[in-house]
Structure 1
Amino acid sequence: MRIFTKLSAPLCLLFVFLCLKTAFSTTHLCSHEEALALLQFKTSFSINYTASDPDYCDYQPNYSKIESWKEGIDCCSWDGVSCDNVTGHIIALNLSCSFLYGTFPSNSTLFFLRNLQSLNLALNDFRLSKIPPEISQFTRLKHLDVSSSQFSGQVPREIAHLPKLVSLNLSYNWDLILETTTLRYLVQNLSEVRELVLSGLSMTSVNPRFFMNLSSSLTTLRLFNCQLRGNFPNSIFRFPNLKRFSLGGKGNLTIDLPSSNWSSPLQDLYLVDMDQDLYLGDMDCGRRLRESIGDLKSLQYLSLGCNLEGSIPASIGNLSQLTYLSLSYNNLSGQIPSSLADLTQLTCLYLSNNQFSGPIPASIGNLRQLTSLDLSSNNLSGQIPSSLADLTQLTYLDLSNNQFSGPIPASIGNVRQLTSLDLSFNNLSGQIPSSLANLTQLTSLDLYNNQFSGPIPASIGNLRQLTSLVLYSNNLSGQIPSSLANLTQLTYLSLSDNQFSSRIPASIASIGNLSQLTYLMLSSNNFNRQIPSSLANLTQLTYLSLSYNLLNGTLPPWIFTLPLLEYLFLSHNQFQGQINQFRPNSMFSAFQNLKILDLSHNSLIGKIPNCLPKSLSVLNLQANYFDGNIAFGFPEGCGLRNLNLHGNQMDGLLPRSLVNCRMLEVLDVGNNNIGGTFPHWLESLLDLQVLVLRSNKFHGSVQSTKQSPSFPKLRVLDLSSNDFRGPLPVRYIENFKAMMDLYRDEDSPEYMNVSSYQCSVVVTWKGFDYELPGILTVFSSIHLSNNMFEGEIPDVIGKLSSLKGLNLSHNNLTVHLRSLSVESNHLGGDQGEVLGLDLESLKILLKRGVFIGAMLYCLLVFACKRVLAVEGVVNVVRSD
């Protein structure tokens, strides 16, 4: 009995514990109503694995959190659900990256969760739903994140009715608008907010000064890509608790970096304005980087790209906690300061796209923690310092677009963690060091546009992780090493524009082993003989360029069976024979993905195959010996933008099916035997910019047949050396709007490109034909010479203010020579004489304000010889 009494108390306690454990193990913490609310919410959406971007999700993109939500299981154990340990109420819901796809209902059962304190719906796709005003029912909410979830419309004012909100993230909902009145409510009512992330919202109507009324407790403010304009008060830098601040994106923004009294707790500062092409934007942050930047002793992340000028202050070396520094895309100049070597915690250093000069300081080798170093696109010179070899943690190194000279230091091979090395566009010379073979982690090696000589080292075959090898535009010679066959991961290989053995080496056949290759460029190397048959193994090729060599023989049949080929360049070789000899009958039938085909400047003969793939945007068969009709049809939906058949022996008529090519920009069939009247039906091709029908057998009138504007984008028209008659095509000329544009930027002209293919055209200058390898967008010309046009030169020609070339010679045009003063104009070209210049026509041009540059060859030769004084410019005008 006494023994039982001694044991009874512990046994009773154990019994009670076991009973309670059993009770709690069978009781659901989550309330039945809240579980039903979540299950009902689940039915509002489908699971779509494109709805969440895996690049921003921290788990494999093959699982949605709501898949674990099942009836009969405690909802507090569901993925993304957190409950209060005492009450069992759901207090946190994290459904970020859950692949939710569908419209967010305004009456969602989610609003039944009145105890919710944290809600994260980021990185889903709610299909441009509005954020429901009912969100104000979450009166206990402290954290709200709906970033990158495809919400649209206006930010509801009701968010300001969440008085306990500490963090709010609405960022990167690109169709979401925050208006001034809503921002005012947010600022007034969210007195507890610490983190405010609004990047990517549209705030075109917001005055930046409203942000100064935010709580002084603010620690994070993100306002990147918000389309803000005007002056952002720099008092933001004096917020006593501010740790993270980002501002910028496209737009006219100004914020002056203070000269003193910075926010000392600042850890993360991002002020960058770039457009989509990564050029300097309009943001201005005070022009100079002040010495006071060194006062920010807590700074860990600094990125400034806002038109800064001058030098980097030496005080930047005081930022001992800095791990990330980017001053790229500014106008900074001077030398890179040696004080950067004091930033021993730095892991990323980006100074690209500035105007830094001089050498890289040898002390940069002190930055032993660096993993990324980008000094590209500056004016740096001297040799690459051997101290870079001390950066043993470096994985990314870009020194491209500078003026470095001398050899690559052999010690670079000690940086064995490198995965990307770019030394392109410099003046580096000598041989490619074999020590690069030590960089066995390299995936990308870019050495193009330098002066490297000698052979490619055979040891390059050790770089078995390489996916991209770019060596074009050097002076490399010798044989292409067979060890390239070891680079089985290679997808991009460019060896163009070098001086490799003129005979195609047997070792090039090893390239056929690179089964992953998608881009192969071997152009401009004087390779001769036939294309190695081993290249037929490259079934993943999308881009193949063998242009500007001495390759000969017939085109191998296998080249027309590469299933994924999109770009094929075989121009400027010595290929012979026919191209329609293969089966099936049309070689193009296998090219279902082909976008660009360039076989120009060869000796190909016979008929052109009669079918084109709809995918084709450029077809260049110029300078061959093709004959017969243009028999191939242009299907409905034809995507052709550039058709060049110049310099062949083709006859017949232009096929009317060309009108199906609605996007056609360049049509050149010059120097053939094509006949018929002027193809007026080309008027329907409103994107046409270049039309060349020269040296054919066209005849008849060139007058427009319709009243509506024709050829509004035409910039080059060449109808010379045909049998066109009647008056000049006045109605066409008066619609050449592209030749009347006075506002083109002639200081930085661009070349006309079609699908990244640089267009060319043949022009006549002083009786000789020249092929312009590129057509500048500011170039415009009209050639109507050697026809039978008659009548007077119309005044409308004087409106063509952008005209660079006009040739009306050898026609039956009538003009009346009159006295002419050309004072206060700008005549380019030869100063001594103007040969064959019709003064009446010149007067019309000058009267309209046309500036005649060196490219203007207004040769209006007539059967007369006259000498006439021309005031202000030349003394003798001879027309012969």
Structure 2
Amino acid sequence: MGYLMLLVVRMVVCVYMFMMFHFACLSSHLCHSQESSALLHFKTQFIFNTSFSEYYYGDVCPHVYPKMRTWENGTDCCSWMGVTCHSVSGHVIGLDLSCGVLVGNINPNSTLFHLTHLQTLNLAINFFNHSPLSSQFSRFVSLTHLNLSHCQFNGEIPPQISHLSKLQSLDLSWNDDLMWKETSWKRMLQNATALREIVLDDTDMSSISLTPNPLSNWSFSFSLVTLSLLGTEIRGYLTSHILCLPNLYELKLYGSEIIQVHVPKLNCSTSLSFLDLSSCQFPGSQIPDSFSNLTQLTFLDLSGNGFNGSIPSLLSNLQHLTHLDLSVNAFTGSFPSFLSNLHHLVYLGLSRNTLSGQIPNVFDRLTNLQSLRLSYNNFQRKLPSSLFALTQLSSLHCSYNEIEGPLPDKVAFLNLSDLTLTGNLLNGTIPEWALSLKSLRYLDLSNNRFRGHITEITSYSLEYLDLCNNELQGNFPESIFHLFNLTVLFLSSDNWSGIVHFPLFSKLQNLEYLYISGCSSLLLKSETSVSYTFSNLRELRLLSSNITGWSEFSGKFPNLDYLELYNNSLQEKVPEWIHGMDSLRYLSLSHNNVTSMDHFPWYRLEHLDLSFNSMADDISSFFCNATFLEGINLSHNKFTGIFPQCLVNGSSIKDLDLQMNKLHGILPDTFQHLITLNLNGNQFEGLLPKSLFKCSRLVDLNLGNNQFEDTFPNWLQNLSKLEILVLRGNKLYGQIANLETENIFPSLIIFDISCNNFSGSLPKAYIRNFRAMKIVHDVQSRLSYIERDWFNSYDTIEYDSSMVATIKSVSLTFTKIPNGFAIIDLSENNFEGEIPDVFGKLQALKSLNLSHNNLIGHIPHSLGNLTNLESLDLFSNDSYEGNMGLCGLPLSIQCNNVPLQQYPSSEAEDKFGFGWKPVAIGYACGMVLGIGLGFCVFSIRKPQWLVVFFGDKRTKRRSRGNRRRARTTLFQLLVVM
């Protein structure tokens, strides 16, 4: 018996010793060798590119680190960065390589899929080369959390994803090439019933369309807490079925324009706190009354939904709101004072609506407010004093309104970091606090009426400073050179005095964008032989200054890609320091007196603007070593030679402006990729190049004032994007065929074929199909111009279309053409027959010129429908016979106080639909307009109607009512029978 007892004791001791040894081994070598080998092999499939990851993902992952570099053979994988092991079994159950700077592919045979015990996997914010999302992810059957966001996966999401039935969190967001199939999506929702978080932002769900109510038909788990489908293009209806899920806390559907929100009633108790329904669709363009029941909301974003009318008071029920965004809608009326009852508000966004009136003085009740966005409205008068008493305010945007008056001398801001008030009527001096707040990082007071001197700037945290287009004066502020955190600096004035030493800007080593204009003396040359380096400068714009020492300057710009030296009286050759900029992509030296580029090393140059200079080189082979040029503007020079053949032979040229030079010869017929082509005012001859019809993206074609001899180019009619067609002043001839097709020049808004030899009837078929001229642009919208992108990148270069138009016998140069500025000029040809009624349907027309032809018959009554017309020219001087008292523009007869004569008798009225009396009255108005226009152009130099098109926003608004009334009166006179 004693022996048995001894044997039992020995066995217990052995077991105890074995277990102690086993757990000691586990504590020092937890990782299984197979899993360690799998991880090490997985590591070999990638490179670690820190700079690449910072460039692409710096905004979402500020701290990137190659975690895999800590993985070494012979060490315990459970101690490796990003690896988590089970405390007992030693299996790898967690892998977090987010922000791991990985670049490579995850193939189906990857050893990653050997880690079958994984419960959490996070590979977010790496770059997997647009490789397919492998179906092997389904092997992780124990997975509860999967995050593959920002990974650049590609293709269809495999249906095997539904095998992950234990998933609680799924994040595949920001893989914009990942696509869901409806069957895969439905199967996943049916199997993964434990899902609490679904984040699929920016994946492609456009194929999911479970009509009529796809969202309400989904079998969502009652445990769902977060559903985020931003920008997925999923379609269907959002109903109360979703909003009333008992545990739903966060719902994001931003950018789902085809989601219709249909929630007339919400008879449920909901825990919803975060709701983003921006850029969706709401019936009736109104916020549903039922939203007043969402009383637990802290975050509400309804921007970009086209809501109109007044902002509804139902929002005052949402007493827990901290974030409210109603921007980019069409709300009207005044600032809603009831919003001040939302005492917890931290963010309030009302930008880009049509709100007006004075902003009420109610901000003393919004003491928690940190960010206020009121830009792009019609707010007027002064900003309220209570706004400047908000101690927590960090961001204030109130740009592009009509706010006036000075800013206060004192404010209570303690944490203000962003102040943007550009585009208002603010005046007085810039207060000292605006230039001395210690927390201020972003300051934009441009496009106002601030005057006086700039005091010393001591906001040393400033990163962005824009004081352009004010009435500032005095010396250039030298305290600028102590703002070492500046990345963007824009300063312009017409009254800077003293000498500005440009090399001093090299002290600002963080500076990336520099815009300076209006300096009385901007000295580039250094007083010493030191060569200054502008390490991070990417964009340099020095405009309308008196630059000295530019040819001797020796600065270095290793990263500069945009250089503009506009209107600086620069002389002679382009200096060597510009020639040496290998990184340069955009170069503009326009409006100077440059005479030669010499042998410029084009390198990466994509856009070149040498317009308005004195260059007289032979252009024939000027660009033949330019590989990347996409935009060239050499207009208004003295270039000679023939059209460079190399510009069309395999060239990347998209925009080409060679107008007003001395070029000659026949154009090549091999055009391919052009978007704009302006050859106006040269001596080109021969036939129009038919290869232009291959330029499917062509928007602007101006071949005016040359010697082309051809018939009308009917083969251009199917260019669907063509907006400007100018063929004036050539030797074009023949009839314009009245083609019976419907898609003729659908986008055309400028049609000028004047001063040619066209004959036959007016081109009725073309006129009938000018669809873009039938669309009247909203006169309330801010003025915009026809422009094209030179290239698509982070800093878009825009090309402004230009043209010469004859309006009431006055030739006017438009350096920018306003959108919707529709013109038809068929004058000085040999057209005959009657004026067709179809002109009356072109309601966007601003100018119509049919003069100096052989037209007969009645003036169509339909012209009275052209309520936007501002210039109508149908006749020549002989149409004024019998009215000897009329003189001045547009007539060639000068005014010498000739007494007025009687109008012709009523017997002559039968010849015209209007009758002579109203026609004479109309042309008397035309005479007055012509005289006024001439007087304004040559005396005041600011004619009122040009101010309407090119003036500032305030002038447009004041003149809009007068212009409309004058226009109506003129046409009432013209259409009287």
CA gap 1:19/1:254 in 2 versus in 1, 3 angstroms: closer
Measured in 2, the distance between the counterparts of 1:22 and 1:168 equals 35
Aligned partner of 1:37 in structure 2 is: 38
SS of aligned partner of 1:196:
strand
Measured in 1, the distance between the counterparts of 2:274 and 2:119 equals 27
Q: Conserved in 2, the CA contact under 8 Å of 1:638 and 1:660?
A: no
Amino acid at match of 1:125: F
Task: Show the 5 A alignment for 1:434-833.
Answer: 434-455=432-453, 457-460=454-457, 462-496=458-492, 498-500=493-495, 505-507=498-500, 519-522=513-516, 530-533=546-549, 536=553, 539-540=556-557, 542-543=561-562, 547=566, 551=569, 557=575, 560-561=578-579, 563=581, 566-567=585-586, 571=590, 575-576=592-593, 579-580=595-596, 585-586=598-599, 588-589=600-601, 592-593=604-605, 595-600=607-612, 604=614, 606-607=616-617, 611-612=622-623, 613-623=626-636, 626=638, 628-629=640-641, 634-635=646-647, 636-648=649-661, 650=662, 652-653=664-665, 656=668, 659=670, 662-663=673-674, 665-670=676-681, 672=682, 674=683, 676-680=685-689, 683=692, 686=695, 687-696=697-706, 698=707, 700-702=709-711, 715-722=723-730, 724=731, 727=734, 738-739=747-748, 740=766, 742-744=770-772, 745-748=775-778, 751-754=785-788, 755=790, 756-776=798-818, 778=820, 819-820=857-858, 822-824=860-862, 826=864, 828=866
Measured in 1, the distance between the counterparts of 2:156 and 2:747 equals 41
Question: Can you list the C-alpha shifts for 1:545-580, whole angstroms capped at 9, x where unaligned?
Answer: 56568x5766774684472555555655xx54x512
Shift of 1:770: 0.9
Question: Can you list the C-alpha shifts for 1:157-186, whole angstroms capped at 9, x where unaligned?
Answer: 433333332222233332333333333333
Measured in 2, the distance between the counterparts of 1:252 and 1:616 equals 40
Shift of 1:665: 0.9
Measured in 2, the distance between the counterparts of 1:56 and 1:720 equals 52
Question: Can you list the C-alpha shifts for 1:335-367, whole angstroms capped at 9, x where unaligned?
Answer: 545555565554433332234444445442454
Aligned partner of 1:394 in structure 2 is: 393
Q: Conserved in 1, the CA contact under 8 Å of 2:747 and 2:770?
A: no
Measured in 2, the distance between the counterparts of 1:224 and 1:233 equals 17
CA gap 1:794/1:446 in 2 versus in 1, 3 angstroms: same
1:213 aligns with 2:219: yes
Q: Which moved more, 1:243-252 or 1:153-162?
A: 153-162
Shift of 1:322: 4.3
Measured in 1, the distance between the counterparts of 2:725 and 2:865 equals 23
CA gap 1:320/1:778 in 2 versus in 1, 3 angstroms: closer
Aligned partner of 2:245 in structure 1 is: 239
Shift of 1:634: 4.3
Measured in 2, the distance between the counterparts of 1:638 and 1:32 equals 58
Q: Which moved more, 1:516-525 or 1:227-236?
A: 516-525
Q: Conserved in 2, the CA contact under 8 Å of 1:832 and 1:874?
A: no
Shift of 1:422: 0.5
CA gap 1:775/1:678 in 2 versus in 1, 3 angstroms: farther
Q: Conserved in 2, the CA contact under 8 Å of 1:328 and 1:353?
A: yes
Amino acid at match of 1:164: K
Question: Can you list the C-alpha shifts for 1:206-256, whole angstroms capped at 9, x where unaligned?
Answer: 332355521222222222222122321122222221111112314222224
CA gap 1:48/1:800 in 2 versus in 1, 3 angstroms: farther
Q: Conserved in 1, the CA contact under 8 Å of 2:137 and 2:161?
A: yes
Shift of 1:761: 0.9
Question: Can you list the C-alpha shifts for 1:497-556, whole angstroms capped at 9, x where unaligned?
Answer: x5425xx6324758755665554445578998841337957754655556568x576677
Aligned partner of 1:23 in structure 2 is: 24
Shift of 1:80: 2.3
CA gap 1:591/1:837 in 2 versus in 1, 3 angstroms: farther
Amino acid at match of 1:237: L
Shift of 1:326: 2.6
CA gap 1:369/1:833 in 2 versus in 1, 3 angstroms: closer
Shift of 1:831: 10
Measured in 1, the distance between the counterparts of 2:48 and 2:802 equals 50
SS of aligned partner of 1:835:
coil
TM-score (normalizing by structure 1):
0.77
Aligned partner of 1:861 in structure 2 is: none
Q: Conserved in 1, the CA contact under 8 Å of 2:693 and 2:716?
A: no
Shift of 1:83: 2.0
Measured in 1, the distance between the counterparts of 2:664 and 2:329 equals 58
Q: Which moved more, 1:770-779 or 1:523-532?
A: 523-532
SS of aligned partner of 1:769:
strand
SS of aligned partner of 2:160:
helix
Unmatched runs of 5 consecutive residues or more in structure 2: 1-12, 522-543, 749-765, 791-797, 880-889, 891-906, 924-977
Q: Conserved in 1, the CA contact under 8 Å of 2:849 and 2:872?
A: no
Aligned partner of 1:271 in structure 2 is: 277
Measured in 2, the distance between the counterparts of 1:389 and 1:323 equals 20
1:54 aligns with 2:57: yes
Shift of 1:18: 13
Aligned partner of 2:759 in structure 1 is: none
CA gap 1:693/1:209 in 2 versus in 1, 3 angstroms: closer
Aligned partner of 2:232 in structure 1 is: 226
1:254 aligns with 2:265: no
Q: 1:429 aligns with which of 427, 430, 442?
A: 427
- How many residue pairs match? The answer is 805
CA gap 1:282/1:533 in 2 versus in 1, 3 angstroms: farther
Shift of 1:667: 1.3
SS of aligned partner of 1:747:
coil
Q: Conserved in 2, the CA contact under 8 Å of 1:637 and 1:660?
A: no
SS of aligned partner of 1:451:
coil
Measured in 2, the distance between the counterparts of 1:337 and 1:798 equals 47
CA gap 1:534/1:518 in 2 versus in 1, 3 angstroms: farther
Unmatched runs of 5 consecutive residues or more in structure 1: 1-11, 274-280, 840-856, 858-865
CA gap 1:608/1:293 in 2 versus in 1, 3 angstroms: farther
Q: Conserved in 2, the CA contact under 8 Å of 1:386 and 1:411?
A: no
Shift of 1:732: 12
Aligned partner of 2:896 in structure 1 is: none
Measured in 1, the distance between the counterparts of 2:92 and 2:872 equals 91
CA gap 1:435/1:294 in 2 versus in 1, 3 angstroms: farther
Measured in 2, the distance between the counterparts of 1:737 and 1:326 equals 38
Measured in 1, the distance between the counterparts of 2:566 and 2:837 equals 40
Q: Conserved in 1, the CA contact under 8 Å of 2:452 and 2:472?
A: yes
Amino acid at match of 1:477: Q
SS of aligned partner of 1:458:
coil
Aligned partner of 1:181 in structure 2 is: 183
Task: Show the 5 A alignment for 1:825-864.
Answer: 826=864, 828=866, 834-836=874-876
Measured in 2, the distance between the counterparts of 1:823 and 1:800 equals 8
CA gap 1:772/1:801 in 2 versus in 1, 3 angstroms: farther
Q: Conserved in 1, the CA contact under 8 Å of 2:550 and 2:575?
A: no
Question: Can you list the C-alpha shifts for 1:793-827, whole angstroms capped at 9, x where unaligned?
Answer: 999998999787777877xx8x6x66457344547
Shift of 1:57: 5.7
